[in-house]
Amino acid sequence: MAKNHPEAAMSIKNLVVAKAGKDILRGISLHVGSGRVIGLLGPSGAGKTTLIRTIVGRQKPTSGTIAVMGRPAGSATLRKHIGYMTQGIAAYPDLTVAENLRYFATMTDTPRQRIEEVLAEVHMQAKAQQLVSTLSGGEQSRLSLGIALLAKAPFLVLDEPTVGVDPLLRQQLWELFSKLARSGTTLVISSHVMDEAERCDELVLIRDGQILAHETPQELKQRTGSRTVEESFLKLVKQS
């Protein structure tokens, strides 16, 4: 198991989330230190998005507790400190890239000059005046990521941020994530692309609403005697 950091960025205890009488998350406990990149991995339907929605306060826990930076998930003060990238695009297709960023900047009390920085961070300067509906899938998800980065929140929750992004840019985005973590930002990133997992500080493997493993990629591979995270994951699934 990963080390417990003194200043926990997120602390989850026995979290259960039931939707329509079905338990989606079945007793999750997780402690995460700040300034770490946490990879949330698991097959689709494992409960990744539900966990993410609970972290950002959109989904109410059925039982158990979840605290982000010392405050219960969903509390009003947290809204200033969490950047959230949803799984869908969650931007206005009938507005330009710049208009979207301007609107979400106003909603997050972010100064205007930050917009230029964000455009550079997600490599979208050339597309600023383009309507979102005319962008490619990868460009749309970069805009969506950009919106989450606007407020420079110390806690970022990114649901599949690199879907449809080409390999070169994907590498640049992961470098950005590492840079943010070095400056103290905590990032929770869900993915089903296992090769991205190697770049995380800690991995959380989820299956059927439960945590299968929580450790560093190296620990995970050593423990399961595997060469890749993907192989480890398959071994763990077979064991359970």
DSSP 8-state code for residue 3: P
d(CA 173, CA 162): 8
User: Is residue 60 near another protein by the rule CB under 8 A?
Assistant: yes
3-state secondary structure of 182: helix
DSSP 8-state code for residue 4: P
User: Is residue 12 near another protein by the rule CB under 8 A?
Assistant: no
Among 6, 20, 94, 218, binds another protein (CB under 8 A): 94
User: Is residue 3 near another protein by the rule CB under 8 A?
Assistant: no
d(CA 136, CA 129): 14
- 8 or 132, CB closer to another protein? 132
- 108 or 228, CB closer to another protein? 108
The least CB distance from residue 84 to another protein, in Å, is 5
d(CA 191, CA 204): 11
Residues present in the chain in total: 240
114-133 mask for another protein (x: CB under 8 A)?
Answer: -----------------x--
Q: How many residues bind another protein (CB under 8 A)?
A: 32
Strand-by-strand arrangement of the 82-85 sheet: 82-85, 155-159, 186-191, 37-41, 202-207, 210-215
Which position has the token pair 């007793």?
27
3-state secondary structure of 234: helix
User: Is residue 135 near another protein by the rule CB under 8 A?
Assistant: no
- 48 or 53, CB closer to another protein? 53
The least CB distance from residue 49 to another protein, in Å, is 11
63-82 mask for another protein (x: CB under 8 A)?
Answer: -----------x-x--xx-x
- 84 or 174, CB closer to another protein? 84
> Which stretch of DSSP H or E encloses residue 229?
helix 229-239
The DSSP bridge pattern shows strands 202-207 and 210-215 to be antiparallel
Among 11, 29, 34, 108, binds another protein (CB under 8 A): 108
User: Is residue 86 near another protein by the rule CB under 8 A?
Assistant: yes
Residues that bind another protein (CB under 8 A): 53, 56-60, 74, 76, 79-80, 82, 84, 86-96, 99, 103-104, 106-109, 131, 147
